[in-house]
Amino acid sequence: MKLIFLMKVRIIFALSCLMILTSVGSVAQTKNHYQADSDKLTAEFHKERRELLRSKMPDSSCAVIFASPERIRSADVDFVYHQNPDFYYLSGLNEPNAMLILWKEFRLVEGVKTNEVIFVQARDASKEKWYGKRLGTSEVISTLGFINAYPSEEFDMMDGLFNGLSKILDTGIPKGLVDDRHSKADLSDLVEAFQLKSSYPTAKHDDYLLGKLLRSMREIKTPEEIKLLQKAADISVKAHVEMMKALKPAMTEYQVEAIGEYFFMKEGAQEPAYPSICGAAENACILHYQTNRRTLNVGDLILLDMGAEYHGYAADITRTLPVNGKFSEQQSKIYQLVLTAQKAAIEACLPGNNFYDPDRVAKKILSDGLINMQVIKSPDELGRYYPHGTSHFLGLDVHDVGTHGTLKAGMLITVEPGLYFPEGSPCDPALWNIGIRIEDDILITEEGFVNLSAALAKEILEIERTMTEKSIFDQN
């Protein structure tokens, strides 16, 4: 059965790839990968973000933001590159070995009056043959809308960039730097040159203020960002529905994961927004479980915490499902308690409320419920079975930045209460290995809130009904 299932997955995947290559073959011939999607954020969006940041900066200051470093997976193989969200937010560039400088006021740089400059990888035909096309300075100017762009190796030779400043704002040195001894212009070289050049002026470094300003900006999503976040949620919802329909005993966690991630890619996501969590039975009680190798048995619950990333923006959705299609009586009691807490917490996602209000609401309901079920004796014991918070910000990071103050229109947060009873817990053994979390993506609006993932079933009867529907992976 497993072999047939895996063969079907591979066949469907291959057919889908063939259809995609046939229908969009012309995309492969586009000038560069930045033109392959028409719904990405525009150069105007990133320019507006730079202008907004500049308006918040102190007089006579500059901000310095680095791209993320490339990270070695093993030997000469790197992990798939993922840009520093702050850098992408302000530039739109998705390449390594780059650096952005924004000045509060205009100044002359290489004889050109400007208030910003970006240093990027130079074109290199030999490397592009292996790793794909680079934009280079000319296309950074034409595609991303910068006035000044220079090859990264020229930064070390340019003088006066930090003269006359009172403050140099940065977000600290990127973690995980590795010096490529074959390159004179990798991120390590840029950082080293920056440290030398910025040590000469009398300006004070401030690696706190820039982070604070960016957190306050990024926590409020623009209409363009909300559109991408809704798309990421829509893709994720479709994937979760297909996992519900395909779920059967004797499958493995990784087969369920494969179905979800297949639909992520089929629907246009670039990648999962984070490592998929597909934990059955005891594994559902491990909050960030990622092994995903267990075989599913009748009577198990499986917790699926999976979200797609679309043009850099993350969805984050969790559903907990009965492997055999029916919740047991004991599972239903715990599930309904978590669902009641989640619904009430979502209702607390209102502009003007505190960021932690949904958490307080959820914890009150969960603790009262467990006290009534005689699982705990006081609210102080809830942390044993609910060890995490109810919400986090969502955006360019799955755990996005924010100020954690008052909820405002444009903020996007998760609401994800849960209860977990690992084997050996001081409770009725009938609860052992039950782990349940329910998570949706909630947009704060002027009128209240919108659940971006509302289309995905979470009521017990809705889930059980969806699980009776035919899957494309079912045997004929």
Phi-psi region of 311 (alpha: psi -120 to 50; beta: other; left: phi over 0): left
Catalytic entry in 300, 439, 440, 441: 439
Torsions phi, psi of 204, nearest 5?
-90, 140
Catalytic entry in 70, 170, 416, 440: 416
Catalytic entry in 76, 159, 380, 447: 76
Average pLDDT, the chain: 92
To the query of whether residue 116 is one of the catalytic residues in this protein, the response is no
Catalytic entry in 288, 428, 465, 469: 288
The span from the CA of 443 to the CA of 414, in Å, is 9
Q: Of the ranges 30-39, 81-90, 174-183, which one carries the lowest mean pLDDT score?
A: 30-39
Give the model's pLDDT for residue 30: 33
pTM listed for this prediction: 0.92
Indicate the helix (H) or strand (E) that contains 216.
helix 209-218
Q: Do domains 37-217 and 220-466 have the same CATH topology?
A: no
- Over residues 294-318, the mean pLDDT reads 98
Give the model's pLDDT for residue 237: 98
Give the model's pLDDT for residue 36: 64
Tell me if 411 sits within 8 A of 221, measured CB to CB. yes
- Over residues 187-197, the mean pLDDT reads 94
Catalytic entry in 46, 420, 440, 441: 420
Q: Which of 177, 175, 179, 172 is nearest to 198 (CA)?
A: 172
The span from the CA of 33 to the CA of 308, in Å, is 20
DSSP β-bridge partners for residue 280: 302
Instruction: List, in sequence order, the alpha helices (H) in 58-150.
Output: 85-91, 125-131, 136-144
To the query of whether residue 288 is one of the catalytic residues in this protein, the response is yes
Please list the helix, strand and coil fractions of the chain in percent, rounded to the nearest 5, in that order. Answer: 40, 20, 40
- Over residues 263-284, the mean pLDDT reads 98
> How far, in whole angstroms, is CA 466 from its chain's centroid?
27
| Own/partner long-range contacts of 381-388 (Cβ < 8 Å, ≥24 apart) | 384/425, 384/426, 385/419, 385/420, 385/421, 385/425, 385/427, 386/417, 386/418, 386/419, 386/420, 387/287, 387/420, 388/287, 388/418
The span from the CA of 9 to the CA of 186, in Å, is 40
To the query of whether residue 388 is one of the catalytic residues in this protein, the response is yes
Q: Of the ranges 1-5, 87-91, 238-242, 350-354, which one carries the lowest mean pLDDT score?
A: 1-5
To the query of whether residue 439 is one of the catalytic residues in this protein, the response is yes
Catalytic entry in 49, 50, 294, 437: 437
Name the range with the highest mean pLDDT among 1-10, 170-179, 237-246: 237-246
To the query of whether residue 404 is one of the catalytic residues in this protein, the response is no
The span from the CA of 371 to the CA of 313, in Å, is 39
Q: Give the list of residues 6+ apart from residue 68 with CB closer than 8 angstroms, or none.
A: 81, 82, 83, 84, 87, 96, 174
Domain 220-466 has CATH 3.90.230.10: yes
User: Sheet of 449-451: strands edge to edge?
Assistant: 412-415, 440-444, 449-451
Catalytic entry in 70, 219, 300, 305: 305
Tell me the C-alpha to C-alpha distance, in Å, between residue 18 and each of 37, 215, 447.
Answer: 19, 42, 45
Give the model's pLDDT for residue 409: 98
Structure tokens at 357: 């209000």
DSSP state of 299: T
Catalytic entry in 10, 73, 293, 399: 399
Catalytic entry in 392, 397, 440, 441: 392
To the query of whether residue 82 is one of the catalytic residues in this protein, the response is no
Give the model's pLDDT for residue 39: 93
Per-residue pLDDT tens digits for 16-60? 443 433 333 333 333 344 446 889 999 999 999 999 999 999 999
Tell me if 65 sits within 8 A of 86, measured CB to CB. yes
To the query of whether residue 205 is one of the catalytic residues in this protein, the response is no
pLDDT at residue 214 above 70? yes
Give the model's pLDDT for residue 160: 92
Q: Give the list of residues 6+ apart from residue 70 with CB closer than 8 angstroms, or none.
A: 78, 79, 81, 96, 97, 178, 187
- Over residues 403-413, the mean pLDDT reads 98
Give the model's pLDDT for residue 476: 55
Per-residue pLDDT tens digits for 52-70? 999 999 999 999 999 999 9
CATH code that applies to domain 37-217: 3.40.350.10
Catalytic entry in 316, 359, 400, 441: 316
Give the model's pLDDT for residue 181: 82
Per-residue pLDDT tens digits for 430-476? 999 999 999 999 999 999 999 999 999 999 999 999 999 999 998 75
Per-residue pLDDT tens digits for 353-377? 999 999 999 999 999 999 999 999 9
Catalytic entry in 82, 205, 388, 404: 388
Could you tell me the residue ranges of all domains in the chain?
Answer: 37-217, 220-466
